[in-house]
Amino acid sequence: QHCSWFAHADFCSSNSLTSSTKHFSKLFLPVTTLFCLSSKATAMPSWLKCLRTKAPKESVLADFLSSDRQLLLFSRFPSSKTLYVLDSSFNPPTLAHLEMAKSVGGPVLLLLSTRNADKGAIEREIKDRIEMMQILANIIGSCIIGLIKAAKFVEKEHILRQFGREQIFIVGYDTLVRILDPKYYPDGLRSELSDFFKRARIICKLRNGIAGEREQLDIIERIRLGKADIPGEWADRIEIKKYGDSAVISSTAVRNACAQGDIKKLEELVPEAIAKFVLRKNMYGHN
């Protein structure tokens, strides 16, 4: 379904869209419809960049990355009251990403941050990551693909709030721990995260190697009982889920397999189409 502001002159005029399509790369998988941030033209923020049909090549990416725009979206925007957000580096997408996205039973935003609180800017190789995200989106089905200029989840929620949908972030246990880590909030964890938990929810998957399963399951109870110096009511906004074995796969393991030339291991960790892409592009130092 097209947005009501599709032809709105200030944001998405036919001339601007025609001009934008000249920048698209043939290397990217096709996307057949306009994306939108809001169904109301008057709610359209000035920093949204409207594109359609395909992901942009480096010139358009460079334009976005050097601009003051905070969000760049590709692909179809599904109609739903709830938006599931799978935020990751997608370096590369793994079977864990696939399982997590398919498990929620709703439209998923595959979100890549160009700024990471721990790793700094990741502007290099973004083009390849977008293409891999598109491959993953084709496998999943109902997906949105986006770039966002925000490191903290509280910042991402604030930007994505313009969608007018409830946001549910799909994260791993280690990411949940980082979200609740006071060191990322100079003005105070409670102060900065209070609005986030009023508006958004979290689905947390268990992951081996970060903490024991019992400890992971107990985190919600610790919050509820006030033992984690976190408001107890936040526990009602966090759901812990168990996933299959593929959910413990890390992108680091994939990169290590490539570096070691272990193609069989690579194919066990990522979707087949992603493995082919990684091999074709000679990524991560494989032979």
Range of the domain at 135: 69-249
Does the pTM surpass 0.95? The reply is no
Please give the pLDDT value at position 118.
58
Task: Give residues with Cβ within 8 angstroms of 77, minimum separation 6.
Answer: 3, 33, 35, 36, 144
In a domain, 238, yes or no: yes
22, 63 contact by CB (below 8 A): no
Please give the pLDDT value at position 215.
74
Please give the pLDDT value at position 55.
46
Query: pLDDT by residue (tens digit) across 176-207?
Result: 989 999 999 999 999 999 999 999 999 998 76
Q: Which residue has the higher pLDDT, 220 or 68?
A: 68
Task: Give residues with Cβ within 8 angstroms of 46, minimum separation 6.
Answer: none
Please give the pLDDT value at position 3.
30
Q: Which residue has the higher pLDDT, 5 or 286?
A: 286
* Sequence-distant contacts of 278-284: CB under 8 A, at least 24 apart: 278/92, 278/254, 281/128, 283/92, 283/128, 283/258, 284/92, 284/254, 284/255, 284/258, 284/259
In a domain, 26, yes or no: no
Percent of the chain with pLDDT over 70: 70
Domain count, the chain: 1
In a domain, 222, yes or no: yes
Is 254 strand, coil or helix?
A: helix
In a domain, 59, yes or no: no
In a domain, 110, yes or no: yes
Query: pLDDT by residue (tens digit) across 159-179?
Result: 999 888 899 999 988 889 899
In a domain, 100, yes or no: yes
Instruction: Enter the tokens of residue 261.
Output: 């030339």
Mean residue pLDDT of the chain comes to 75
Domain CATH for 166:
3.40.50.620
Query: pLDDT by residue (tens digit) across 220-246?
Result: 888 888 777 788 899 999 998 876 655
In a domain, 16, yes or no: no
Is the pLDDT at 210 greater than 60, yes or no? no
Please give the pLDDT value at position 74.
81
In a domain, 262, yes or no: no
Taking the C-alpha atoms of 118, 257, 264 and 111 in order, what is their torsion angle to the nearest 10 degrees? 10
Residues 205-225: what's their mean pLDDT?
Answer: 72
